[in-house]
């Protein structure tokens, strides 16, 4: 096991009706906040009304900044920084999915930065101060509700980059699974592949002696797989949604990666896809992760066999066969829950593989489990084609 | 799943050599601290010297309060409160096992309380303010390094009672598994049964739809069982110790109990043992937990069968048989690692069963999985006898 530091202080307020506590929780930090959300679904669902009432009842005033889209844009982040500065705002309340929360995180960091907020992503300058943010999560997927990470897309050059800082962990996150009951099936499925990918990026490691986190990863994956199937076949069931929602947080708050090197190549490879083609992140991952696995599994067949046996109950005695069966199980599962299995199904051909591979590694090799250069990444895109 | 709030902000600094960071970490909070420890083992091991050097290097001055014993006493807590007040101390650094950390927690809460620190335990008055504490853990067992709980013994009336508050979670805990390499085998074994009991108290619940936490509990138990055997047969191996140390924290930081009613009857029943007879808490639990299981398993045979199959790989098709086999596996495991299986082996007869059972329930029924009254508790002690 490697040395590590782990701290996740996000207060999780979980369960039915908890969104009504948002005013009370927000007031502990601020009486003047930015209310940040997406393109209007929270108005249709009535959540907007609940939030506004709760904030008013707690004497919290707010300025609204709607308009966050999937693969959230730096343009809106810049607008958010300006709005916060001009209005003396010192807290951001993000109401939505991972995109809204990530946009809020970028604004929170940008607020204290003299230069452009994109500097954190393009120049990798460290985040030394950030506004506190709180969230009401509406889509279990990205894990941003308790994670230190943020991913933003620059609409000008179509780059999609990430930044990390413990300062970006929300001070509170309200998770009410009831809010997820009306999500479209495709969006649920995208969330499932995203949270599974967060575990898988941690699971495939070269660090030795990581038994506890291995087992926690396997447990989390098994629970996601089981409850994904149940939730999709019985969409009105609260409990299945609750399992998935809590799993999305556990998958990405950092616990499962403690003491081990993490990989993150699949995410980098997918980011180029969603930056260039604006595909849903989860759909892109469903295509890329199994392709990445096929390309790298020979590096540690035993670990892939362990994944197959402990997550998918593969019984083959041969490690090689078990490994391949496990990858097949993952691919079949994604297809079963309605996700694409190939780039072709995403409507993407091979034309830009060279360009994407080049952009993917422009800062050097990616991944830790296997270090990947431009040719490796291009090959993974090719495996993913059909 | 039940609604819940979960927040554990303790910064975990884990790994080889991390105790050298204690000065730096402490200085973020205070320059004048109480250095709280046990009866001298940290002096023999050299840890005391490392800590003192690190504090000095960081310009942190300290007043020492040694003398914490297993089943830590309210008398020393009172002395600690007085020492902190008289010396303008605003931070407590606990260096030791769960007893030292619990003693520090009680001092931290007592500092702001006008009355006696025992009020938090006997009168259950809420803890509304506490000094921050930091820890260097030397025994993986109690999980106090990241938990909100504290257990203190009143030497006057031999009562051993607990209190809880998120304010008692340490602000940082330094966990270096190297420090545990020299622990006596019996102490290691006691730690193992304690951390397993922390998971088991959460696992046996009447709350429905707790799949993720069930699986996380099972994963944690399996990892503890595996690494306990390995660590005891190869005591110099760092990695096995690291798995156990991190498991002790995960077992009791609250994650595994999220969304579910917890039980805690076995702990209450054991506390009367260790209060009256001053036995090691872990040794007492090794006797009491299987006895509790035998008494209550019929309440939910399916859950006990799940425990048997998923934790102990019991293969029996009959739930009843599987349940009993699982309890047997736990008992055998405790015996295998050198722990007692009966009260008799602890040198305890049946004379005080009535008295202990009475004290145990003097505030009413205990436990949630099955609510236990005086007769039930007495019967569990009797089952534990031989």
Q: Which residue of A has its CA nearest to B176?
A: A3
> Phi/psi at A328 (nearest 5 deg)?
-60, -40
* In-domain check, residue B6: no
A191/A140 Cα distance (integer angstroms): 6
Contact between B165 and B130 under an 8 Å Cβ cutoff? The reply is yes
Annotate A225-285 with DSSP letters as a single string.
Answer: HHHHHHHHHSTT-HHHHHHHHHHHHHHHSSGGGTTS----HHHHHHHHHHHHH---HHHHH
Over residues B49-71, the mean pLDDT reads: 97
Is B109 in contact with B168 (CB distance < 8 Å)? yes
Facing A5 at nearest CB: one of B11, B219, B243: B11
Quote the minimal CA–CA distance from B166 to chain A in Å: 11
Instruction: Please give the tally of structural domains in chain A.
Output: 2
- Kindly state whether residues B300 and B227 are assigned to the same domain: yes
Structure-token pair, residue A120: 């954190």
State the pLDDT at residue B172.
98
Whether residue A220 is found in the same domain as residue A352: yes
Q: Do B165 and B286 belong to one domain? A: no
% of chain A with per-residue pLDDT over 90:
98
In sequence order, what DSSP letters do the residues of B26-43 get, joined into one string?
HHTT-SEEEEEE-SSHHH
Q: What is the mean pLDDT of residues B354-364?
A: 95
pLDDT tens per residue across span B217-259: 999 999 999 999 999 999 999 999 999 999 999 999 999 999 9
The first and second tokens of residue A299, run together, are 């590096």
Q: What is the pLDDT of residues A253-264, one digit of tens each?
A: 999 999 999 999
CATH number, domain at B66? Answer: 3.40.50.1970
Last residue of a domain, one of A179, A212, A244: A179
Residue B64 lies in a domain: yes
A202/A310 same-domain check: yes
Q: Which of B243, B251, B261 to mutate to probe the A interface, most A CBs <10 Å?
A: B243
User: What pLDDT score was predicted for residue B216?
Assistant: 98
Q: Calculate mean pLDDT across residues B10-31.
A: 98
Across the beta sheet with A61-65, the strand order is: A61-65, A32-37, A92-96, A133-137, A172-175, A4-14, B4-14, B172-175, B133-137, B92-96, B32-37, B61-65
DSSP 3-state of B12 = strand
Min Cα distance B254 → chain A (Å) is 12
Residue A51 sits in the same domain as residue A111: yes
Q: Which residues of A touch B (CB under 8 A)?
A: 1-18, 208-209, 211-212, 215-216, 218-220, 222-223, 226-227, 239-240, 242-243, 246-247, 250, 255, 258-259
Residue A355 lies in a domain: yes
CA distances from A180 to A47, A193, A267 (A): 11, 16, 24
Q: Do A136 and A198 lie in a common domain?
A: no
Give me the residue label for tokens 């014993």.
Answer: B69
Q: For residues A216 and A256, is the Cβ–Cβ distance under 8 A?
A: yes
B64 in helix, strand or coil?
A: strand
Predicted local distance difference test score (pLDDT) of residue A158: 87
How high is the pLDDT of residue A142?
A: 96
Residues 6+ apart with CB under 8 A from B194: B98, B141, B142, B143, B248, B281, B282, B285
From CA B294, how far away is CA B287, in angstroms rounded? 11
Nearest chain A residue (CA) to B310: A219
| ipTM attached to this prediction | 0.97
Provide the angle, in degrees to the nearest 10, between the axes of the packed helices B281-296 and B374-385. Answer: 110
pLDDT digit string, tens, across residues A131-140: 999 999 999 9
State which of A155, A179, A203 marks the end of a domain.
Answer: A179
Residue B158 pLDDT more than 90?
A: no
CB A131 within 8 A of CB A84: yes
Chain-wide mean pLDDT for chain A? 97
Q: Which of A209, A223, A240 sits opposite B215 (nearest CB)?
A: A223
Q: Are B110 and B119 in contact, with CB atoms under 8 Å apart? A: no
Choosing among A177, A228, A246, which should be mutated to test the B contact, i.e. which has the most B CBs within 10 A?
Answer: A246
CATH number, domain of A223, equals: 1.20.1090.10
Q: Are residues A144 and A196 in the same domain?
A: no
Same domain, A222 and A172: no
pTM assigned to the model: 0.98
Kindly tell me if the per-residue pLDDT of B275 is higher than 90: no
Is pLDDT of A40 > 90? no
User: Which residues on chain A are in Cβ contact (under 8 Å) with B208?
Assistant: 239
What is the predicted pLDDT for the residue at B305?
98
Q: Which domain holds residue A307?
A: 184-385
Average pLDDT, rounded, for chain B: 97
Q: Which residue matches tokens 């260039």?
A: A276
Continuous segment of H or E residues that includes residue B168: none
pLDDT at B40 over 90: no
Cα dist from A378 to A287, A288, A297, B127, B344, whole Å? 14, 12, 17, 59, 69
Name every residue whose Cβ is closer than 8 Å to that of residue A216 and which is 6 or more positions away in sequence. Answer: A255, A256, B216, B219, B220, B250
The answer as to whether B1 is a domain residue is: no
Is residue B278 very low, low, confident or very high in pLDDT (cuts 50, 70, 90)? confident
Mean pLDDT of A149-160: 93
Closest CA to B94 of B44, B56, B150: B150
Residue-level pLDDT at A278? 86
Is residue A293 situated within a structural domain?
yes
Same domain, yes or no: B162 and B199: no
Q: Which residue of A has its CA nearest to B226?
A: A211
Q: Which of A146, A179, A212 is the last residue of a domain?
A: A179
B263: its two tokens: 């039980």
What tens digit of pLDDT does each residue of B297-310 get? 999 999 999 999 99
């Amino acid at each position: 096991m490697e040395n590590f530091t782990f701290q996740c202080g996000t207060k999780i307020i979980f369960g039915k009706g908890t969104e009504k506590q948002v005013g009370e929780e927000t007031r502990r930090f601020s009486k003047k906040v930015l209310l940040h959300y997406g393109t209007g679904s929270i108005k249709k669902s009535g959540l907007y009304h609940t939030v506004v009432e709760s904030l008013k009842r707690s004497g919290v005033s707010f300025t609204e900044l709607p308009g966050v889209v999937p693969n959230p844009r730096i343009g809106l982040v810049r607008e958010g920084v300006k709005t916060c500065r001009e209005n003396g705002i010192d807290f951001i309340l993000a109401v939505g999915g991972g995109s809204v929360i990530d946009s809020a995180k970028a604004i929170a960091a940008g607020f204290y930065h003299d230069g452009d907020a994109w500097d954190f992503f393009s120049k990798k300058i460290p985040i030394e101060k950030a506004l506190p943010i709180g969230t009401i999560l509406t889509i279990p997927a990205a894990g941003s509700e308790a994670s230190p990470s943020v991913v933003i897309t620059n609409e000008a050059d179509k780059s999609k980059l990430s930044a990390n800082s413990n300062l970006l962990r929300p001070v509170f996150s309200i998770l009410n699974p009831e809010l997820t009951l009306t999500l479209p099936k495709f969006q649920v499925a995208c969330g499932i592949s995203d949270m599974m990918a967060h575990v898988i990026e941690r699971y495939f490691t070269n660090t030795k002696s990581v038994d506890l986190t291995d087992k926690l990863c396997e447990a989390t994956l098994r629970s996601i797989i089981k409850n994904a199937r149940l939730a999709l076949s019985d969409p009105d069931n609260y409990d299945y949604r609750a399992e998935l929602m809590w799993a999305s947080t556990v998958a990405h708050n950092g616990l499962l990666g403690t003491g081990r090197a993490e990989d993150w190549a699949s995410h980098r490879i997918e980011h180029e896809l969603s930056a260039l083609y604006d595909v849903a992140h989860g759909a892109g991952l469903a295509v890329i992760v199994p392709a990445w696995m096929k390309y790298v599994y020979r590096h540690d067949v035993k670990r892939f066999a362990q994944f197959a046996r402990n997550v998918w109950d593969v019984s083959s005695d041969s490690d090689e066969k078990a490994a391949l069966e496990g990858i097949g199980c993952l691919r079949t599962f994604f297809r079963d829950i309605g996700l694409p299995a190939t780039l072709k199904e995403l409507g993407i051909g091979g034309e830009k593989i060279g360009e994407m591979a080049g952009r993917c590694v422009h800062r050097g090799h990616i991944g830790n489990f296997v270090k990947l250069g431009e040719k490796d990444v291009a090959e993974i895109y090719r495996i993913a084609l059909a």
